[in-house]
Structure 1
Amino acid sequence: MKRLLLFLTACFFGFIVYFDLTTGTLPAMGIVAVEKAKEYPRQTIKEVLPYKQITVKPGDTLLTIVEREEGSLQVAIETVVADFQKLNKGLRPQDMQIGETYKIPVYE
């Protein structure tokens, strides 16, 4: 009886390992992203987020540029930084260079 119980336990653990390696118990991030991409039509950032191309001058920061263009900051600073990074391929605002042109988000 003990041998049968030990054999069934070993088979159960073997099945668990097999199932986890082939199917997995948690969804992979890549699979979830592919499934979500199928649900929604592909949109470009230009369609989703309006922007202006602005050349950086000495003393400019992302926030001063946005405030100069908008008059006052209408959204959270974190949102401005995240939108800037989306528009500029992940570039951090502190890495902006004088004389370079960047896409700055416009908020209405």
Structure 2
Amino acid sequence: VKKVCKLIDCHSCITSLTENVNEHDYSLPLRHKQFVLLKNQGGLVITSNCVYRIIKESEISFLYHTTHLSNINIKNLDKKIISHVVNKFVLDHTIFKNLSCENVEILERP
């Protein structure tokens, strides 16, 4: 996420990918943040819950298409995973609901 944020010039997009961390927030962090918060010494970026959901679905798709890593030499594996993840979230209005970019399509790539 840190590398992607360097390539993006849209403030709304960057804030949708990351999550602000308050050092004095003593509530129980979400599962995907616990390890990062434990290991963070100031250089790690905390991803948003939406990014976590997309990465988790990508991992599930990767394991499915590779038959749990028994065969990773699959033609167009990246396109299959992207297609699966896009189809999973294309109608999900909770993904990046605070995104306020203009001219944004789900299949639009930089």
TM-score (norm 2): 0.23
TM-score (norm 1): 0.23
Instruction: Please identify which structure carries the higher helix content.
Output: 1
Instruction: Please identify which structure carries the higher strand content.
Output: 1
